[in-house]
Amino acid sequence: MNQPAATASRLLALLSLLQARREWPGPVLAERLGVGLRTVRRDVERLRGMGYRITAGRGSIGGYRLDSGADLPPLLLDDDQVTGIAVALRAAPLAGAGVEEAAAQALATIRRVMPSRLRHRVDALQFTTLATDAPVSTVGTDDLVLLSGAIRAREVVRFDYGAPGARAGGDVPRPPRRAEPHHLVASRGRWYVVAWDLGVADWRIFRVDRMATRLHTGPRFTPREVPGGDVQEFVAARFTGRHANDWPCRGKVVVDLPARDVAPFVEDGVVEDLGPDKCSVEVGSWSWTALASLLGRLEADVHVLHPEEVRLAFGELAQRFQRASDPGDRPD
């Protein structure tokens, strides 16, 4: 490798190291690059000349740190990072943050400055984003920034809450709602805030597109622990009608089918093998009749172990199905 190419390659390696962690001792950088300390110092000066703000520590061994600055110097991205950026920008419509056009422009800008090799890799990555089961609700980035900032600063937020796009008003003025925001969650094309509602003294999940946030946040608060300790589990439970860590209705039955044939259809249930053509199933749902319906779709005989509510739910469903099968049973 000729001298200019070797220097350029070494500068890229040095910049990559500086971006990877907060501070590097000079001797460690020299060892990683396979050069002497004087060469490291010269390379640091070259990077400074390109616009990178690199702070040098005092002492015989020194230390180097890459600081953020007002000017954006050239970025160093490896192949996987470029691919990750491309995927994220092209999937922007699923976020519902109203940044689709900006994301497309950003991807076009990045693509123009890529080396040919990386540009071909990004161009080869083609996929189509489909609408989610729930319609995408666009929210303003200002709202997301305000809410995220309040979560980070642990500050109470004030907002009016209603239909998407609603703002304060109406015949009877209402005081704004007050809540301690804990997590900002994106799910199925919508944005949500998991918060402790001070008005009802309980946990709530608010849709951001229905929040008309007030500009100024309130006092600081001490964070509470989300029920169950896992925000993903908490939100998933609320979306499916469960309690924080479990379904409100659980039952156990024996099914006249092999465990391998039953397991794919009970999702978060527990299936125990009882022999070649029998297994036990413990599973939950949001109601007893819904639990019986879930077990009934297995198309096999079911023997209820406990509780009695499951047996009663099967009886109620049997009556419904009997009425539905009667040709003379038609709505008025």
249-325 CATH fold: Alpha-Beta Plaits (3.30.70)
More confident residue, 215 or 61: 215
Q: How confident is the model at residue 170 (pLDDT cuts 50, 70, 90)?
A: very low
% of the chain beyond a pLDDT of 70: 76
DSSP code per residue over 95-139? G-SS-HHHHHHHHHHHHHTS-HHHHHHHHH----PPPPSSPP---
In this predicted model, what pLDDT tens digit does every residue of 185-220 receive, in sequence order? Answer: 877 667 889 999 998 888 888 888 888 888 888 899
Mean predicted confidence (pLDDT) in 246-275: 84
| Same CATH fold assignment for domains 3-67 and 249-325 | no
- Mean pLDDT for 6-20 is 77
pLDDT band at 169 (very low <50, low <70, confident <90, very high): very low
Mean of pLDDT over the chain: 78
Instruction: Give the residue-averaged pLDDT of 236-265.
Output: 78
Specify whether domain 3-67 bears CATH 3.30.70.1450. Answer: no
> pLDDT at residue 123 above 60?
yes
Q: Any idea where the domains of the chain sit in the sequence?
A: 3-67, 79-124, 141-240, 249-325
pLDDT at residue 18 above 60?
yes
